[in-house]
Structure 1
Amino acid sequence: MKNLTNNLYIGLMSGTSLDGVDGVLVVLPEHTDPAQANTMQLLASAYIPFADTLRADVMALQQSGADEIHREALAANMLVIQYAACVNALLEKVTSVDQHSVRAIGVHGQTIRHRPELGYTRQTNNPALLAELSGIDVIADFRSRDVAAGGQGAPLVPAFHRAIFGQAGVCRVVANIGGISNISILRADGSTTGFDTGPGNVLMDAWIAQHHAKPYDENGAWAAQGQVHTGLLAALCDEAFLQAAPPKSTGRDLFRPDWLNQKLQLSAFADISAVDVQTTLCAFTATTLVDAILNYAADVAGIYICGGGAYNQCLMQHIESTLRRKGSQSTVASTEDLGVSPHHVEALAFAWLAQQFVDRSAGNLPEVTGAKGLRILGALHPA
């Protein structure tokens, strides 16, 4: 029998960057009033890095290939073993909590295809196995219900961002920079919008992996050594998705290495050094993010960055310099300034979404995703 005197949830998130899984153990308010969500109490956090084999297997699933149904099933099982390790790590940190105390795990899964324009999104996962390994109810597959209702299925975090970061009378933007970048516009009047703005770290990660066999550019150190190539930056920005009006979402289906290679094959870019390409990719992420913010939230007072991009010093500098060049005096900081570590925000969001499911409350915002209406998101896999 579960002890539900504490409203304990676990949130697990593994993002497009394919670096690992972030987990949180959190006490959420008993009710689902979004205005009270900022009373949550973080009890523990954990991070489990992906093994190179898992990262390679999931990366290979980004494109069609032989025997991919079998390969996806095996990758999902490997992924869930990492999820279960993260759950165990969380419970080991809080000796007063065991699996019988936790109401549910909210787990995003690993996106391998995102094609809402074709009516589907695919997050590989085996939530039944996670329920078996953890002994805790698992809520998964949050995006499909929104897509079924005609929505993009992404981003799903703006409702959570409003709940914990919104401030009456102030326009804030929360920008999540993972593999892909997305923004939540928390308007001064209490309304909320949001959308994917374009690539985050995905192209930079792919480029440094190709040239230095590193999974990511730590602190943006390599990008800081080069120069922005304005011609290449303009070519990168010449992408229909970037000009499209929201609601919109994207992923590796569009911003992948061969997309970049097609741009680089233009004769004008034949002699660009590898480091200058990395610097230009950093500027590309910053430019598309800033353009989206200023186009849809020109009155923004503060921009707060979460996700891995918050730790890329070169990227943060490019964001600030791009804002100043475009005439904005908005402040730029990480969500740490609002009391939440950039690494924890998305995992907390999926704990919150799990609570929304348990309480049978909507988890999407139709004004963000374009869905026909509010929908309860997720699917239950009982322990």
Structure 2
Amino acid sequence: MKTADPELMRAINRLSVLDTIRRNGPIARIEISKRTELSTSTVSAITGSLIDDGLILSRHEGDLRNAAARGRPRVMLELNPEASRVVGAKIAATRMTFVVSDFCGEVLSEFSLPVRIDRMPIDVIADLVEDGVRACVMDSGLTLSEIDMICLGIPGVVEHRTGVVRSSPIFSDENVDFAAVMSPRFGIRTIIESDVHAVTLAHHWFGKARHLEDMVLISLERTLGLGVLHNSQLFRGAGGLSHNLGDLVLGSSADSMSRLASLAGESAILGDGPREGLYADAVRLGRGISHAQTLIKAKDAQIMSAAERAGDAIGVTVANIVTLFAPPRVILVGSSLALGKPFIDRLTKAFNSAIPPSLADVSELVFDDAEDFFWARGAAAVALYELYESPWSTTGPAL
């Protein structure tokens, strides 16, 4: 019988310890041992190495002057915020949002660039992304040489391992090797990640799934995305692929197929609005959802019908996902939530009707309207997770 690769097991154990300190620190070694189910000697060896590498800090809890009288002070461990800095970004069709964070995931600076980039030439998009990254780094008081990694969150189907964007609404071409385009501009490893995976990790680290090991997230924007967290890790497909939920088939006939995007995608919803005037201009400028709110408040029959139809389709889809994964929580995010009551009420009703009775009390639906900076912070978390997994020496990560 084959035994596990010792180097791999050491890396897995090290990541487990480091992530436990991140989630629960300051924390004592004995508590790390309980939470990770690693022996105290293994935890001591790993934390000693992490201290040597400057990734974690130790501090004494108690009064050292009276240690003899009161017992030995406990040594508590926590992440060293200055061990590394990363950049995270959400690249959307009409706005690019950037954050710089420290090793603990705390934001040092934010920068937003409201510019419509969809269908621009790749080199132009790359120029704008580079400007945004450099501006955000400068605002943090750092230089690019002090940044260890960059993660760019992109909508669409993304191969995490290669940095290839198979398809995205912001690119006119398919199979764009965006990592190869961006990395030479910075001289720093640049990760390309699905924006839905980034916001999933953001919720796991900082948001509404902070204390959960398993959850599902659905993003409702120009693309419909799916994020699955299992055992505190993102589930990715072959090659690190993200999931385009909009391609899910909900029905078919002899000569056609009905995909989720054709019922609940942003284009499908907005297509039922006026063909001219202020609303049509807003759609062309990427502001259609915000103007759809105005029509819904005015009880416009067409747009309300489109919102309800989308809610029905998403509700059934969520029920199918819960049937497959049975997560304790499903978080729904994205611009389509701004459609409000007609959309959310129909979504909830359709979900309750479609979910099997045996699973009716399993999953909680949570609606979240987090701003773009939260998504960018999730991209920074993706970069930090990569660093946590990387072998380090006292001179920094060996990538």
Structure 1 length normalisation: TM-score?
A: 0.53
Q: Percent identity?
A: 9
2:102 to 20, 27, 39: 27
Counterpart of 2:315 in structure 1 is 287
Q: Is the 8 A contact 2:105 2:384 kept in 1?
A: no
Q: How far off is 1:20 after superposition?
A: 2.0
Name the CA distance, whole Å, in 1 between partners of 2:232 and 2:95: 34
1:181 alignment partner in structure 2? 224
Tell me which residue corresponds to 2:383. 354
- Mapped pair 1:46 → 2:111: yes
| Distance 1:8-1:354 versus aligned 2 partners, 3 A rule | same
Question: What is the alpha-carbon distance in structure 1 between the residues aligned to residue 319 and residue 192 of structure 2?
Answer: 31
- Counterpart residue number, 2:333: 306
Q: 2-side partners of 1:90 and 1:129: how far apart? A: 16
User: What code does the residue aligned with 1:309 have?
Assistant: S
Structure 2 CA distance for partners of 1:205 and 1:84, relative to 1, 3 Å: farther
- SS state at 1:213 partner: helix
The residue type equivalent to 2:175 in the other structure is R
1:176 partner letter:
S
Q: Distance in 2 between matches of 1:290 and 1:345?
A: 23
Return the match for 1:105 from 138, 150, 173.
150
1:190 to 1:279, Cα distance in 2 relative to 1, 3 A: closer
2:165 is equivalent to residue 90 of structure 1: no
Q: Matches of 1:131 and 1:310 in 2, distance apart?
A: 38
CA apart distance, 1:41? 0.8
Shift of 1:76: 1.1
* 1:50-106 C-alpha deviation (Å, 9 max, x unpaired): 23xx43x35xxxxxxxxxxxxxxxx11221232133224423543x32323211222
TM-aligned CA deviation for residue 345 of structure 1 = 4.3
- The 1:108/1:192 distance shift into structure 2, 3 A limit, reads closer
Q: Which amino acid is 2:123 matched to?
A: N
Distance 1:167 1:280, change over 3 A: closer
Matched, 1:213 2:285: no
In 2, the alpha carbon distance for the partners of 1:289 and 1:226 equals 26
The answer to which structure, 1 or 2, has the higher relative contact order (CA under 8 A, 6+ apart) is 1
Conserved 8 A contact 2:289-2:336: no
Listed one character per residue, the Cα deviations across residues 301-360 of structure 1 (whole Å, up to 9, x for unaligned) are x43233333444244444334334557565544457xxxx34234423333333455566
CA RMSD after TM alignment: 4.4
User: Which of 175, 182, 186 pairs up with 1:122?
Assistant: 175
Q: Could you say which residue in structure 2 is the equivalent of 1:137?
A: 188
Aligned to 2:245: 197
- SS, match of residue 50 in structure 1: coil
Q: Which residue of 1 aligns with 2:26?
A: none
Q: d(CA) in 2 for partners of 1:293 and 1:219?
A: 31
Q: Measure the CA separation in 2 of the matches of 1:93 and 1:312.
A: 35
Q: Which sits farther off after the overlay, 100-109 or 305-314?
A: 305-314
Does the 8 Å CA contact 2:307/2:339 hold for their aligned counterparts?
no
Cα offsets for 1:282-304 (capped at 9, x unmatched): 3255335423343224463x432
C-alpha distance in 2 between matches for 1:296 and 1:103: 38
What is the aligned counterpart of 1:81 among 127, 136, 139?
A: 127
What displacement does 1:160 show? 6.4
Deviation of 1:25 after TM superposition, in Å, equals 1.3
Rounded Cα–Cα distance in structure 1 between residues aligned with 2:290 and 2:317: 20
Shift of 1:9: 0.7
Shift of 1:5: 4.5
State the alpha-carbon separation in 2 of the partners of residues 40 and 103 from structure 1. 13
- Preserved CA contact (<8 Å) 1:24 1:42: yes
C-alpha distance in structure 2 between counterparts of 1:169 and 1:126, whole Å: 31
Note if contact 1:307-1:345 (Cα within 8 Å) is conserved in structure 2: no
Provide the secondary structure at the position in 1 that maps to 2:128. helix
Instruction: Evaluate the alpha carbon distance shift between residue 190 and residue 139 of structure 1 in structure 2; reply closer, same or farther with a 3 A threshold.
Output: closer
SS of residue in 2 equivalent to 1:19: coil
Secondary structure of the residue aligned to 2:175 is: strand
Query: Cα gap change, 1:122/1:98 in structure 2, threshold over 3 Å: closer, same or farther?
Result: same
C-alpha deviation, 1:10, in angstroms: 0.6
- Contact 2:223/2:266 (CA < 8 Å) preserved in 1? yes
Consecutive unaligned residues of structure 2, counting only runs of 5 or more, are: 1-80, 158-164, 168-172, 237-242, 247-260, 392-398
Query: What is the count of residue pairs matched by the alignment?
Result: 263
Alpha-carbon distance in 2 for matches of 1:206, 1:42: 38
- Offset, 1:14: 1.8
Q: Secondary structure at the match of 1:287?
A: helix
CA distance in 2, matches of 1:107, 1:299: 27
- One-letter amino acid matched to 1:105: I
CA distance in 2, matches of 1:140, 1:169: 25
Contact kept? 1:14, 1:21, Cα under 8 Å: yes
Corresponding residue SS for 2:372: coil
Q: Which residue of structure 1 lines up, in the alignment, with residue 65 of structure 2?
A: none
Q: What is the distance in 2 between the residues matched to 1:129 and 1:186?
A: 28
Does the 8 Å contact 1:103/1:136 carry over to 2?
A: no
What letter matches 1:139 in structure 2?
A: T
The answer to whether the 8 A contact 1:20-1:49 is kept is yes
Q: Aligned ranges for residues 120-269 of structure 1 at < 5 Å?
A: 122-123=175-176, 125=178, 128=181, 131-132=184-185, 135=186, 137-141=188-192, 162=204, 166=209, 172-186=215-229, 195-198=243-246, 199=261, 200-205=265-270, 208=273, 212-214=280-282, 215=286, 216-218=288-290, 220-221=292-293, 222-223=295-296
Q: Go from structure 1 to structure 2 and tell me whether the alpha carbon gap of 1:218 and 1:191 turns closer, same or farther (over 3 Å shift).
A: same
Kindly state the Cα deviation for residue 8 of structure 1 after the two structures are TM-superposed.
0.9
Task: Judge conservation of contact 1:208–1:217 (CA < 8 Å) in 2.
Answer: no
CA distance in 2, matches of 1:359, 1:105: 14
